[in-house]
Amino acid sequence: MQPITYSISKGLRAGAIGGFVGSIVLGITGEIGAMAMNQELFYTTIARKMGFADSSVLGGWTLHFLVGIIAGSLFVGATAAIGRFALTATKKAVWVGILAGIAIWVVVYVPVTAILLPADLTDATFAGGTFVLHLLYGVVTAIVSLPLLRRVVKTKTTT
């Protein structure tokens, strides 16, 4: 089986779509968790703190999808640039997605939460739950992006 490659720009596009789907899955799962814990959804709280008080739910979801699309795009684009992490098979997409979920949780979620909602990071249940949700986001983003990349890949020819 010959290795496949894809360009950074195609990775960015596939990642944007994968990130959108990943953010839907994370958002719905997060909403269910927030309702079960009788809490306000994280994105709604962030939107309200950023001044979207009149439409904090809509503003929260808009911010959530925007971050999900950008993060997914950058994640899958980076896999094209760093060949070791290229999404070439489902099993590899799962573990690379897990790594991406960890990175996104550390680089995006933790700093935003530390600034706007520091108490959420001290609640082990909440922090642990969001960590798992970000792992889920990374895996879904990678799995959704994989078939899109397979459609646009160039097969390397060996001479």
Please check whether residue 7 is in contact with residue 77, taking contact to mean a CB–CB distance below 8 angstroms: no
Structure confidence at residue 157 (pLDDT): 52
pLDDT band at 1 (very low <50, low <70, confident <90, very high): very low
The 10s digit of each residue's pLDDT in 15-71 is: 999 999 999 999 999 889 888 888 877 777 777 777 766 666 677 788 889 999 999
Residue type, 141: T
DSSP character string of 40-86? --HHHHHHHHTT-GGGHHHHHHHHHHHHHHHHHHHHHHHHHHSGGG-
Structure confidence at residue 104 (pLDDT): 95
Kindly report whether the global pTM for this prediction surpasses the value 0.85.
Answer: yes
DSSP character string of 84-103? GG---SHHHHHHHHHHHHHH
Structure confidence at residue 62 (pLDDT): 86
